[in-house]
Chains A and B, each alone.
Chain A
Amino acid sequence: MNEHSNDQLSIGDLPSLEDIDWVEVDRNLIVRDVIRNLIISTGLLVATLVGGFGFLSAGETIFSLIGIIYICVGLFVIVLLILWPRLEFPHRGYALRELDIAQRRGFITRYLATEPFSRVQHVAVSQGVLDRMFSLATLQIYTAGGVSSIKGFHVDNAHQLREHILERVAEINLAASEEFADEATSTNPTMDP
């Protein structure tokens, strides 16, 4: 066991996330998200119209100007909400690798995260009402540092992936615990003065 080794890492040799083939998630996710956003924007629409026409009916020029701006902003937000899932979709993806699972998402703010299997505590699959209508599922990977969820799997895929990850986790943990037990029995850690 190399207790005090600190080998120079040459960055070029490491397996890199740069040349990864991102896997697209289920395209139904767009429809599902659009429907969800439509539901959200109904309330927004009512608020926009009521507020906007409230201002317009006040009669004074300054108030009607505010009312028009109000309605424009509201409608813009609603249109954006409806377009957003389509805009975001090409930037969504995951990559299952030998020792970890990576995901990326985000249209304006790009996000990339990796969970090593050696740190996974448990894996869950969750499905909301809308998810069930399109047979979609969210994969939730729990580590001691928190939970990271990947949206937009087909249910069957999600369950397969969950099984696979759990298998890999078990394999890796078994190997690790054997190694750990070996360390514990064979060597005494030396102390640095």
Chain B
Amino acid sequence: MTTRTKNSENWHLVSPLSIASFIGKYLVRFSLWLLNQSHLPITVLVIATSASIYLRQYWLWIVVLGAILCLLACGVLVAALLSYFRFRYKVTDQDISVREGVFRVVQTDVPWSRVRAVNIRRNPIERLANLATISIDTAGTAEAEILIPAISPRLAETLRDKIHMRTNSAPESNSVAASTSIYRMSANNVFKASLCSSGAIGIVFGGLFVASLILFGSVTTGLNFDPSFNPTTLRDVPLEALHVVLQGFQMVFFAVIEFVERITGIALTQSWGTLVVGSIILLLIVTLCCFLLTFAMCFARNFNLHLQRKQEGLSVSRGLFTTRYSSLSARKIQILSLRRNFRELFLQIGELIAWQSSSGRDHRLVIPSCPVEIQDKVWSIAFAHTGSNMRLTRKSIEFTRLSPIYLWFGEHMALMLFILAVPLLVLMFSGNFLALAVMCLLWIPCTLTVAGICWLKAGYVYDGVLLISRSGFLGYKYMMGRYGKVQQVSIKQNAVQRFTGKSTITLHYAHGNISIPYVILSEARQLMDAVLDFVERKETHWE
């Protein structure tokens, strides 16, 4: 063991190219600050808007907005430059330290024994200059504890191997050699992943919403806008502001319509009928653009995804612009979750996420659009050392159903309340018993179907070392956890559960929990005892 030296020569400066990543960091940080303190810019903008409308001097507004953006840009640039000059790092046998900060200097020392994960990522500038950013995570914080931009990739690799050697307790000789390729994502699968990502539908609906807002604005202003309207009192300012906004929407709408007209050569604005067709075309275009955007984002994130088996763990490299390499040892996996929504079920793929105790965003292993056989393979690597006989293949696992009481009092209880609430409301407003009957006929089968599907899909199975829970409505969601990583166990019984002798058992992990509702109380207690026994007597060490 070497003694800790305190001389300043060991502190290294990073390459000047790191300024780019500092700019990115401060841009995000300042923008977030502006968003959090949104009353500040919004107040300024509202005052500027009202003043410019009241005075009829619209350039004022642009000047204020420009000034805010200029200030932001200057601040980011200055902060990035200053922090580059103040940034130092040091690597010793025991720990890794970073000293940063412009006015308040913060030194972070992380001993190697506390490090949970080391990950490497390379943005385009760094890739051109053959450099890398390394981020080091401990279990404590939500963000990466230490982030060193623009260092040589060889140093980054050495650091990562160092940490893997410690945690894998593997001999040094084959730590680098033994990596076998498991899965390379094809362009076809990237396309599937973008189809299935939860953002896809959201963005499409967002696009539709914005488009319909534009339509609404254009139609209302087209009918009501009065160009001779002249605000004379302060009370008219909000009205005028609304008109300006709607006029803006109208301008956008007609600009797009005109553009479409010029391209297609069809006169859309001649009559209402053609205008409606035009609007539908516009909506379709917006939707298509939104989908292309999702696809581009997904493609940039998952381009060239390569899953490898490394020693006892897994490593993934991916990304078009910023390449990210993340790896984790199988022993560190807390929860393995597999999500298959209805599109993913249809396409025979699934999204696999392996959580480890560190909570940084880069430090969970995500494999979108993972084919079934790869799911099995990852499963067997992740849980090989536990000795469990359970396999992910659906046929070999017999899931235990939850109690049917779950049908009536499960998570969809709020939905069930609608059965009572909606007809009552209908009765109150219409005073008509026919309406009540119709509502009941519509609502009861709907809610019962939803509850029934949820009940059919929910299930759990466990053996001596593993617990798998399954849930879902349209798709499936599997959560798989090891007893050895459990932090805390709790059993909860609400009034209904107490009356029927059921309970909800929750296993708390360092990252997320797995909970099974409506298990028989005695079974839950037995499971709790088994987990506690495992945690207290067999696997007292965890990470």
Binding site for B on A (CB under 8 A): 3-9, 11, 14-18, 99-100, 106, 108-119, 143-146, 148, 172-173, 175-177, 179-180, 183-184, 188-189, 191-192
Given that A18-B525, A144-B510, A145-B508 are known contacts, is A9 also in contact with B535, CB under 8 Å in the complex?
no
- Say yes or no: B532 contacts A100, CB within 8 Å: yes
Task: Please name all residues of chain A whose beta carbon is closer than 8 Å to the beta carbon of B338 when the two chains form the complex.
Answer: none
B2 interface contact, C-beta 8 A:
no
- Say yes or no: A146 contacts B487, CB within 8 Å: yes
What are 20 A-B pairs at a CB distance below 8 A?
A6-B465, A15-B533, A108-B495, A110-B492, A110-B498, A112-B490, A116-B488, A117-B536, A118-B536, A118-B542, A143-B488, A143-B508, A144-B139, A145-B508, A145-B509, A146-B508, A176-B541, A188-B170, A191-B312, A192-B384
C-alpha spacing A117/B536, complex, angstroms: 8
Cβ distance A188 to chain B, nearest Cβ, rounded Å: 6
C-alpha spacing A16/B521, complex, angstroms: 13
- Say yes or no: B510 contacts A145, CB within 8 Å: yes
Cβ distance B528 to chain A, nearest Cβ, rounded Å: 7
Task: Please name all residues of chain A whose beta carbon is closer than 8 Å to the beta carbon of B494 when the two chains form the complex.
Answer: 108-109
- Say yes or no: B495 contacts A146, CB within 8 Å: no
B530 interface contact, C-beta 8 A:
yes
* Interface 1/0 per residue, B215-234 and A, CB below 8 Å: 00000000000000000000
Query: Contact residue range for chain B?
Result: 35 or more
Which of the segments B241-249, B256-264, B266-274, B385-393 contacts the partner chain?
A: B385-393
Sample of 5 more A-B contacts, CB < 8 Å, known A109-B492, A116-B535? A4-B385, A99-B536, A109-B495, A146-B488, A177-B541
Binding site for A on B (CB under 8 A): 139, 168-171, 178, 311-312, 357, 380, 384-389, 463-465, 486-495, 498, 508-510, 513, 525-526, 528-530, 532-533, 535-537, 540-542
Task: Please name all residues of chain A whose beta carbon is closer than 8 Å to the beta carbon of B535 when the two chains form the complex.
Answer: 116, 118-119
- Say yes or no: B540 contacts A179, CB within 8 Å: yes
| Cβ-closest 7 pairs across A and B | A145-B487, A145-B508, A113-B490, A144-B510, A184-B169, A176-B540, A99-B536
- Say yes or no: B533 contacts A119, CB within 8 Å: no
Cβ distance B499 to chain A, nearest Cβ, rounded Å: 11
Q: Which of B178, B311, B387, B525 contacts A16 (CB 8 A)?
A: B525
- Say yes or no: A116 contacts B536, CB within 8 Å: yes
Task: Please name all residues of chain B whose beta carbon is closer than 8 Å to the beta carbon of A4 when the two chains form the complex.
Answer: 385, 387
- Say yes or no: A114 contacts B139, CB within 8 Å: no
Cβ distance B473 to chain A, nearest Cβ, rounded Å: 25
Task: Please name all residues of chain B whose beta carbon is closer than 8 Å to the beta carbon of A119 when the two chains form the complex.
Answer: 486-488, 535, 542
